[in-house]
Amino acid sequence: MFISNAYAQSPLDSLGAAGGFISQYGILILMFVVMYFLMIRPQQKRAKEQKAMMDALAKGDEVVTSGGMLGKVAKVNESYVTVEVANGTEVVMQKSAITMLLPKGTLKAL
């Protein structure tokens, strides 16, 4: 009277359990796909652009360093760059410290 009867599971109930499995993991997979397109892919694209910019550095380019200094590239080595920040003042830094190339003639306007 107070205890309910226990019945065997029907085949239709097992299909419902499989649908629950797909919906549970489908949300998880969808979340990883969204994270890839919103976070990982743009970061990889930015890193690729930064590497291409560092490989293309040449003498005479006007640059901004990660410290905010503006200067003109005087020498380029494999992993180091010499940047002229004022007349006769040169600073040697790693290529990774260069964050942005400026258009030609920007430093003359300052």
* CB-based contacts of 76, cutoff 8 Å, min separation 6: 57, 58, 59, 82, 95
Find out whether 60 and 73 touch, Cβ atoms under 8 Å.
Answer: yes
Task: Give pLDDT tens digits along the chain (110 positions).
Answer: 678 887 776 665 555 555 677 777 888 999 999 999 999 999 999 999 999 999 999 999 999 999 999 999 999 999 999 999 999 999 999 999 999 999 988 888 65
For residue 8, the model assigns a pLDDT of 73
Neighbours of 27 (CB within 10 A): 9
For residue 16, the model assigns a pLDDT of 54
Q: What are the DSSP calls for 34-64, one per residue? A: HHIIIIIHHHHHHHHHHHHHHHT--TT-EEE
In the structure encoding, which two tokens stand for residue 107, read together?
């430093």
pTM of the model as a whole: 0.63
